[in-house]
Amino acid sequence: MRFSFANSFTALLALGSSVAEAGSFRNKREQAVTVTQTVTATSSEPTAWQWDAGATREVPIHPSCNATERAQLKRGFADAMKYAQHAKDHILRFGNSSDHYVKYFGSAPTAEAAGWYDKIVNGDKTGLWFRCDDIDGNCSQDGWAGHWRGSNATMETVICPLSFTTRKPIEALCAFGYDVANGKLNTQFGIDLIHRLFHVPTIGEGAAEHYADTYAECLQLAIDNPAEAVRNTHSLQYFALDVYAYDIALPGEGCAGVLKEEASSTGAAPAVPSATATEAPSQTSAAPTECHTHADGVVHCS
């Protein structure tokens, strides 16, 4: 109240002085006007309308992560962005003329898969937390490298210590005997984090979800239900790995691999369209079990 009275008082004084000035010499008035304009321009400096005010571009890392965990997570997210960006670039360049595209997404129109990758790279990350404090007490369970907090906090993901000791950087793609067909999706930190990002409702929107899990099931889904394949998190992960390997890591060669029979949980594996698949010894037993909780509360481990 006192504050606003003081303001009005000042305004009245200012008005009074300008009225007084109106009667002075033209010359002087022009000067006064000039001064007034300058003042006006400064005081009502247009507050630039920033349409994306409050946007969060980087994935927020919770204060519970210590310096080394934070550094590794940042590194992992940088990998995730590289995978997603390249997957999108590949789709935008080749569309469905890409064998890789057809392999994972069948006859589905290309915009949806490209859009999901774009959400990973450019989608707003406001409200997300990736935390390291095992707040739900689940990290002690054997093989748990992290989990989406589900009903406890849908925007939050816990990363357990196991992630930091087992995940590989993007430069190690196709190394250590890894191939896409037989390797686990969670050996690559960046690819694992893409999966975790899709669980967050503002990123995956409850649509980029689990429709098929194993490599064989994902290839079959591309044939049986392309519309689901383009929003199946595992298909999006496999595609990103495969095209990054083929286009960037080992150009023109990649490490698609050929699925070994016993790795398939559905019996006969569908033919892999890639003609350049190279057999490589698989050494994935050291990879941790990947567990995650679905929206319906079902815990999936693979």
Ligand X SMILES: *[C@@H]1O[C@H](CO)[C@@H](O)[C@H](O)[C@H]1NC(C)=O
Chain contacts with ligand X (rule: CB under 6 A)? 66-69, 96, 107, 136-138, 147, 149-152, 161, 293, 299
Residue 14 or 71: the one with the smaller Cβ distance to ligand X is 71
Strands 156-159 and 146-148: antiparallel
Q: In whole angstroms, how close is the CB of 93 to ligand X at the nearest point?
A: 14
Q: Which two tokens stand for residue 57?
A: 């571009």
Q: In whole angstroms, how close is the CB of 189 to ligand X at the nearest point?
A: 16
Residue 222 or 255: the one with the smaller Cβ distance to ligand X is 222
Residue 83 or 148: the one with the smaller Cβ distance to ligand X is 148
Q: In whole angstroms, how close is the CB of 289 to ligand X at the nearest point?
A: 12
Residue 59 identity (one-letter amino acid): V
Dist CA 22 CA 20 (whole Å): 5
Residue 221 or 280: the one with the smaller Cβ distance to ligand X is 221
Q: In whole angstroms, how close is the CB of 7 to ligand X at the nearest point?
A: 51
Q: In whole angstroms, how close is the CB of 232 to ligand X at the nearest point?
A: 17
Residue 233 or 293: the one with the smaller Cβ distance to ligand X is 293
**Cβ contacts of 6 within 8 Å, gap of 6 or more:** none
Q: In whole angstroms, how close is the CB of 182 to ligand X at the nearest point?
A: 27
Residue 118 or 133: the one with the smaller Cβ distance to ligand X is 133
